[in-house]
A and B are shown apart, each in its own frame.
Chain A
Amino acid sequence: MKQLKNTEDISRKDALKKIRNYGKYTALTAIGTYLILKPQKAQAGSPPDAGTGF
């Protein structure tokens, strides 16, 4: 039973370590997330739309 408890403790430590590492990679993922915005290639009139319009 004790041993089992120990095993559990070790597992928890490992788990925390993993979470910490994962957290660091998340930081990398976060700074690597970006958005590209493309303006219209030329001046345009109203483009076609679904026309639900108010």
Chain B
Amino acid sequence: MKEKTEFLYKTIEDKTITWSESSNQYLILENTTALIFKKLNTGVSIKEIASELAKELSLPIDKTTDFVTNLEQEINALKTEKDASTINKDTTINKPEKFEFIKYYKINELIFKVEFHSEYELYLVHPKFQHLEIEDTNIHAHTFTIFCEADFIYFYIENNFIGAWNKNEIHYFQGKFSMELIQKIHKKEEKEWMGVFHASAVSNGKKSVLFLGDSGNGKSTSLALLQANGFTCLADDFVPIDIYNKEVYSFPASISIKKKSLETLLPLYPELENSAEYNFKRLNKVVRYLKPNNSDFLSHLPCKDLIFIKYEKNSDLKFDEIAKIEAFKQLVPDSWLSPIKENSQIFLDWFASLNCYQITYSENKKMIATVAKIFNDEL
């Protein structure tokens, strides 16, 4: 019987990752369970599966029947779960007549005009892109418009409505802004991306590695340290990967440096001393912005290594290869992954081919030396 196309399966180590198309969710199943899951989806009866399982595990059939029935219910729940759109499609709203701030940003040869209704909208975007600002110009390729109305933030490109987000979901507006920006820079549509990862991407000019980890673990700080030691910042915080070549694409935003990292970074970046400090109360963050050293924002490089990085005071350097399934568990909830089936298959195959490491450090030099070894395939 031909298998229905709702699910994808990828066995990694002793588990099977199962992807559900209707919910765009990833399940981590035991390999035996994934086989049962597959059988249920190809129309094999519960009775038949339960009977086989009862023999295999020497268990009473009523127990295995319960088990398989429950599994089928879970599958049905996944099939009916749909992604709720957060975007309020209110396109009838009147745009403001006056914009308090109009900024121009030059990314390679492309000029973006961005209209901000007030200081509030300006601070949602401008600090991360300030280093790209140029003087007023009549020549620009794209016009982005941002304004608030009631409790919503509205985003237009070339006068076309892109979306509106509640103020408590500002990070999704910022994500969309970044996404539209990279799509214009790299001339790609949303369906041409495998995903966008909450990571920092560093390169040696030939390839890239991704730093992952919870917020506050030191991704951006590690990136800034490497940038001062001969490496290049490809992307910070927002790391897009292309679906065709599976390469990390450059994102031109600044590196956000938290207050606690200043002491470490000031000797390397004296300009941070007098750079503006932004207090994002909603995010509970005080940050300064550091210009990335990348000069070509069209660049893109392959990535074979994921590194879960953690700065821990007084810790000796710890370097370990980690289980891919563990890495997967940490990676997925923090990422946007294309909901398109073909893209999801490419993501699973790409992920299975990666090396996953964990570095815990307190001495910068040792961390830099270890990352350099990863780049040189010396580990």
Interface residue ranges, A against B (CB under 8 Å)? 24-25, 27-28, 30-54
Contacts and interface: CB of A to CB of B under 8 A. Distances in A.
A50 B86 contact: no
Given A28-B64, A42-B86, A54 B221 contact: yes
A35 B28 contact: yes
Contacts of B258: 51, 53-54
B311 A49 contact: no
Given A28-B67, A42-B172, A34 B33 contact: yes
Contacts of B70: 32
B179 A43 contact: yes
B283 A30 contact: no
Contacts of A25: 59, 63
Q: Which 4 A-B pairs have the closest CB atoms?
A: A45-B174, A43-B175, A51-B284, A53-B258
Given A39-B332, A41-B83, A48-B284, A28 B59 contact: yes
A49 B285 contact: yes
A interface: dominant SS: loop
B26 A31 contact: no
A53 B313 CA distance: 12
Contacts of A49: 214-216, 283-285
B291 to A, nearest CB: 18
B143 interface: no
Contacts of A36: 25-27
B370 interface: no
B33 A31 contact: yes
B256 A46 contact: yes
A44 B283 contact: no
Contacts of A24: 57-59
B64 A46 contact: no
Given A38-B26, A45-B173, A47-B171, 19 more contacts: A25-B63, A30-B30, A33-B30, A35-B28, A35-B329, A37-B329, A39-B24, A41-B84, A42-B86, A43-B176, A43-B238, A44-B174, A47-B215, A49-B285, A53-B258, A53-B260, A53-B261, A53-B285, A54-B261
Nearest to B237: A46
